[in-house]
Chain A
Amino acid sequence: MEQLKELTKGATLIAKKELAGYFSTPIGYIVISVFLVIAGFLFFSTFFLYGQAELRAYFELLPLLFAFVIPAITMRLFAEERNTGSFEMLMTLPLSTSEVVAGKILAATSFAAIMISPTLVYAISVAFVGSLDIGPVIGGYLGAVLLASAYASIGVFASSMTKNQIVAFIIGFAICIVLSLITKFLYFISPKLVSLFEYISADYHFQNIARGVVDSRNIIYFASVIAISSMASIYQLEVKR
């Protein structure tokens, strides 16, 4: 318990610093703007076509959008530190590697949460024009935060591997896009394997939650992605020294 308290303390400090870092340069604002433009296009292009009071089109494409945007958020977290050399200072502070990794994931997830929060306006505007089913909206946003934290931990892992931010982005993007799209290619695969692929697909678990059904299996999936990527990051950071 005492250890957990220490862990969250160090992680919170790192997260606060990184989150402030996103907004001290234009990059944070650019990423948010790009995300909102694309999300807005996805939402409004179908909103008037279907004439239904729901956010489904927006949530359906969110994993794909996140697979692109989240690695862009996380790519600098360790790669930049390795590149400027501040990594050496960070690693000689009285913090454990797990605190640092947890802090960086927390920062990227918080940034993603800030980034998607303006889209709550869509839910509000939908509620004005029709009767909004609140379940899928709550599920959708809960799922979005879980998805963001899972992709953020993958992105942090990608960033921990290299000192080149572009490489970090490409590795993170590659892993996230596979997890987002893997269920879309299931037509050619034997039905026995389908459930396996569904299990490793982030999109599948996200869509389940976004339907408004929160199942422990979906939560466990995201928790395991976060745990595995964090451990892989810690391994990377401790070994490459």
Chain B
Amino acid sequence: MISVRDLVKHYGEVKAVDGISFTIRKGEITGLLGPNGAGKTTTLRIITGYLKPTSGMVSIDEFLVDQNPIEIKKRIGYLPESAPLYPDMMVYDFLQFMADIRQIYDKEKIKDVAIQCGITEVMHKNINELSKGYKQRVGLAQAILHDPEILVLDEPTNGLDPNQIVEIRDLIKELGKEKTVILSTHILQEVEATCNRVIIIDKGAIVADDSTSDLKSAKGKDVRVNCVVSGASFNAIQSALQKIAGVKNVQHIKDEEQLCHVQIVTGLDVDVRPQVFNCIKDNGWILYEMNREYRSLEHVFRELTVGM
């Protein structure tokens, strides 16, 4: 369990982190989401013991970061931003060095981790010859080498191509089954795809902290149902649909040949799709498409960080 209390970090005059508190329970994949410069990396660096906070405290299980840094560091696997590794070392030598420091003497462990991270074919290359994707994977291999309870990943998919991103995300999800993972990102899809909890940070403070699904369906917000209907004009459709209980508004999106695209706005608590279907059927129109639009995390993010 990671517990962060009233964390504050100043860089001279600049307040990078301004009173952040959260608790991460075992087995959660938590995404630290925020625009660039929001204080995500600083927060992670304090958790891993690299930076010292101006005030506040971080504890992992029963250990405090400032009192027992070595115990904490043993429990954490950390992938820093853009995976800084030793460029002149061979991948195998690098992992061997890490294993020695972590006091892992099982030779099979390096092989297992290499297979898990898909780096077996580059084990005898120098790190500076590797592509960014491979470097990131070597960084990840280094982080999971000692089977840490906690994985801290700073922008793990930054700079990777789409295939590599999917692979790394799958790997993180796989690791998240047995470990506590905390990752930072400014990519919303990343959080939607991998995390079951999201903490949104803006200007050094937490603006939202909820499970990914709860955040997307926040109370008091509207839900939109999109329909494609043929057989009538928009006005006729609108007046028919307006009569359904729970429908707040019916908007015209566009006309496409014979098809009329309509958007129905309702409250979150009602689902009008059966009534809409029956209404269209009863009028003898044809329903081509109907889908319910969930509030995307992108919406939430923009609302919270820009105020739109």
Q: Check A94 against B101 for contact (C-beta < 8 Å).
A: yes
Q: Check A88 against B86 for contact (C-beta < 8 Å).
A: no
**With A13-B97, A94-B74, A94-B102 given, is the CB distance from A24 to B88 under 8 Å?**
yes
Distance in Å: Cβ of A48 to nearest Cβ of chain B: 42
CB-CB nearest in chain B for A91: B50
In B80-120, the 8 Å CB interface with A consists of 80-82, 84-89, 93, 97-98, 100-102
**Cβ-Cβ contact count across A and B, 8 Å cutoff:** 58
Task: Report how far A84 CA is from B87 CA in the complex, Å.
Answer: 9
**With A92-B50, A94-B102, A241-B51 given, is the CB distance from A86 to B84 under 8 Å?**
yes
Distance in Å: Cβ of A79 to nearest Cβ of chain B: 14
Contacts of B49 in A (CB 8 A): 91-92
Distance in Å: Cβ of A90 to nearest Cβ of chain B: 9
Q: Check A85 against B101 for contact (C-beta < 8 Å).
A: no
CB-CB nearest in chain B for A96: B70
Q: Check A25 against B100 for contact (C-beta < 8 Å).
A: no
Task: Report how far A10 CA is from B89 CA in the complex, Å.
Answer: 19
- Quick one: which of A20, A24, A91, A95 contacts B101, CB cutoff 8 A? A95
SS of A interface (majority): helix
A193, CB-defined interface residue at 8 Å: no
In A50-97, the 8 Å CB interface with B consists of 84-89, 91-96
**With A13-B101, A94-B73 given, is the CB distance from A21 to B80 under 8 Å?**
no
Task: Report how far A10 CA is from B98 CA in the complex, Å.
Answer: 11
Contacts of B97 in A (CB 8 A): 13, 17
Distance in Å: Cβ of A100 to nearest Cβ of chain B: 10
Distance in Å: Cβ of B150 to nearest Cβ of chain A: 12
Distance in Å: Cβ of B220 to nearest Cβ of chain A: 42
Binding site for B on A (CB under 8 A): 10, 13, 17, 20-21, 24-25, 84-89, 91-96, 241
* A–B pairs, 14, beta carbons within 8 Å: A17-B86, A20-B93, A21-B89, A85-B81, A86-B84, A88-B84, A89-B78, A89-B84, A89-B142, A92-B49, A92-B76, A94-B101, A94-B102, A241-B50
